[in-house]
């Protein structure tokens, strides 16, 4: 049985779809943190069967838009004094800035490197985003 200690102060990213923790780890640049980060893969879950969990032993600003885009079913737990002080439920963000890149080679973002990659949610059911500059679809 694997045992990961509880944390006194920090953030727990829970209910991650099994196998997606390392992608989130990379997106959030957790490798540059100067604190303990535990990645638990394929943990047993009554709700999901299997899930991944990321425990960060420090208070950090987590980009909820990135997490909501990757999986709106993720739960973010804020820990203070060893206790959960708040649970943040995620949703698909209406707008993404510099989270994904436009794949259209004719888009202004391909030519002008300093322009932000901005996408708006156009279909919530299908999780479809469109580039605000060229309307290129991104799933």
What is the DSSP annotation of 43-101? EEETTTEEEEEEEESS-----HHHHHHH-TT-EEEEEETTEEEEEEEP---SEEESSS-
Residue 113's pLDDT is what?
85
What is the reported pLDDT for 53?
94
Q: Which domains does the chain have, with CATH numbers?
A: 10-89 (3.30.70.140), 95-138 (2.30.30.20)
Residue 2: predicted pLDDT: 56
Convert the pLDDT of each residue in 33-75 to its tens digit: 888 899 999 999 888 799 999 999 987 888 888 899 988 889 9
Give the pTM. 0.80
Q: For the chain, what is the mean pLDDT?
A: 90
Exposure string over 56-89, b if 16+ CB within 10 A, otherwise e:
bbeeeebeebbbbbbbebbbbbbbeeeeeeeeee
pLDDT of 47 reads 80
Please tell me the predicted confidence (pLDDT) of residue 121. Answer: 96
136 and 103 in contact (C-beta within 8 Å)? yes
User: Which residue in 36, 35, 40 sits closest to 52, CA to CA?
Assistant: 40
Quick check: 3 pLDDT over 70?
A: no
Q: State the Cα–Cα distance between residues 39 and 62, nearest whole angstrom.
A: 16
% the chain with pLDDT above 90: 61
Which residues does 5 contact at the CB level (< 8 Å), separation at least 6?
none
98-122 tens-digit pLDDT = 989 999 999 999 989 899 999 999 9
Q: What is the pLDDT of residue 51?
A: 94
78 close to 84: Cβ distance less than 8 angstroms: yes
Question: Does residue 33 contact residue 87 with C-beta atoms inside 8 Å?
Answer: no
């Amino acid at each position: 049985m694997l045992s990961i200690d509880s944390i006194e102060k920090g953030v727990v990213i829970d209910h991650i779809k099994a196998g997606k923790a390392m992608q989130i780890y990379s997106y959030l640049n957790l490798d540059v943190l100067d604190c303990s980060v535990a990645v638990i893969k394929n943990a047993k879950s009554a709700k999901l069967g299997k899930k991944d969990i990321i425990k960060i032993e420090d208070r950090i600003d987590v980009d909820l838009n990135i997490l909501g885009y990757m999986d709106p079913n993720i739960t973010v737990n804020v820990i203070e004094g060893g206790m959960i002080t708040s649970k943040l439920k995620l949703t698909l963000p209406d707008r993404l800035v510099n989270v994904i890149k436009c794949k259209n080679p004719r888009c202004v973002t391909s030519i002008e490197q300093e322009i932000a990659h901005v996408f708006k949610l156009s279909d919530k059911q299908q999780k479809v985003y469109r580039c605000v500059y060229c309307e290129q679809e991104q799933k």
